[in-house]
Chain A
Amino acid sequence: TNSQDAAAPAHVALQLPLLRALLQEVPPKTPQWQPARGRPLQYMLELYRQSADPQGHPRENRTFRVDAVRLVRPAGHRALPPRGPWYVQTLDFPLQPNREGYQLVRAAVAYRPHLRLSHSHLSCHVEPWAHKSSLLLGGGSPGFALPEAWAEMDITNYIQQQFWPQERRRTLRIQVKCEQQERTNLGLGWRQALASDSAFLVLYFNNTFDSMPQVRLQELLTGDPAGADPLLLARQVR
């Protein structure tokens, strides 16, 4: 308690079980790494506030019970030429290969249904970039209570049919369609309004390690079905 301001020795830090688990989860800082900020951060902070107290204890009365929620930001976006009152933008979301032991239980696109510009505002919705006949929306378990300015489209069935389980990197493309409410010239301001985190993908996962056969776990964690130390194995699973 006398050294609260001093940095803990590295060997102490690595002995903390939480840190060992976190270091398995997240690779070291890379050149592409950027700190979280803006609307995605506000969205996830609200999710966190509803799910856990400030000390990190999960709340008993939380509306959803999953092991992990990942917010994915679009890797690319493209604005289509305006057609009448409609302003459309496509967003590409990179989907990482499915991690062993994690089951997708919900997928949703979170977006802002109303965008305000200086002299006008837009009413928006989102759609997957797909033929109407292949669209099967819904299917997910309940998410968290959204902040007032946000809406969600549940695309669990669509993701599970089209993308999951996936073994290689793929891209989900969605389009954000906005309709102008007033007949004024928006100029190029709408591009900026749509480009700034107007929509992102939210994936909910459950960890299925507990139900995985022990032999499969051994292979997964050590790469050697015969040579694993059972005690070490148990620690890594935890």
Chain B
Amino acid sequence: QVGPMRSEVPGHSPEQTQCSLHPFRISFHQLGLENWIIAPNLYSPNYCKGSCPRVLRSGLCSPNHAIIQNLINELVDRNIPRPSCIPYKYTPISVLLVEASGSILYKEYEDMIAQSCTCR
């Protein structure tokens, strides 16, 4: 039997702090790599941030284990942490770059951009 609901974080609504995807962009110029990265100009890896709610809604794509771990934290042992907010799906990025030999390389790198988040 689950105990009474309590507020997630005092002073903040769950919508503001709940695990979600946040945009983040950085330019290759900022990283000092503009000389050999031809395209794209910007890299948008994004990131996941926020607390994982006590009741894991289906949109978070959390596995059964995350739900159990949440219950253990709530009912059995507070030393067991609640699930973490982490990326769930990624997309690749295509990069055009100059190699040291002078060759030009087009390459696709898998799992480089976070597309959605999950609690697990």
Contact = CB atoms under 8 A, between A and B. Distances in A.
A216 B40 CA distance: 33
B104 A70 contact: yes
B102 A32 contact: yes
Contacts of B103: 70-73
Contact of A18 (B27, B32, B35, B93): B93
Interface string A1-30: 000111110000100111101100111111
A30 B100 contact: yes
A94 interface: yes
Contacts of A72: 103
B100 to A, nearest CB: 5
B102 A16 contact: no
A48 B31 contact: no
A68 B108 contact: yes
A18 B43 contact: yes
Contacts of A26: 36, 97, 99-100, 105
Nearest to B106: A69
Contacts of B36: 26, 29, 33
A48 B100 contact: no
B interface: dominant SS: strand
A8 B100 contact: no
B7 interface: no
B39 A35 contact: no
Q: Could you say which interface size class chain B belongs to? A: 35 or more
Contacts, number: 129
Contact of A41 (B37, B38, B40, B44): B38
Interface string A26-62: 1111101111100011001101100110111110000
Contacts of B40: 52, 54-56
Interface string B68-88: 000000000000000000000
A57 to B, nearest CB: 6
B113 to A, nearest CB: 8
Given A48-B39, A56-B94, A57-B91, A71 B107 contact: no
Given A34-B102, A70-B103, 14 more contacts: A4-B27, A4-B30, A13-B31, A16-B26, A17-B111, A25-B97, A26-B100, A34-B98, A45-B38, A47-B106, A57-B113, A58-B92, A68-B105, A69-B107
Interface of B: 26-27, 30-33, 35-40, 42-45, 91-113
Interface of A: 4-8, 13, 16-19, 21-22, 25-30, 32-36, 40-41, 44-45, 47-48, 51-52, 54-58, 67-73, 94, 96, 238
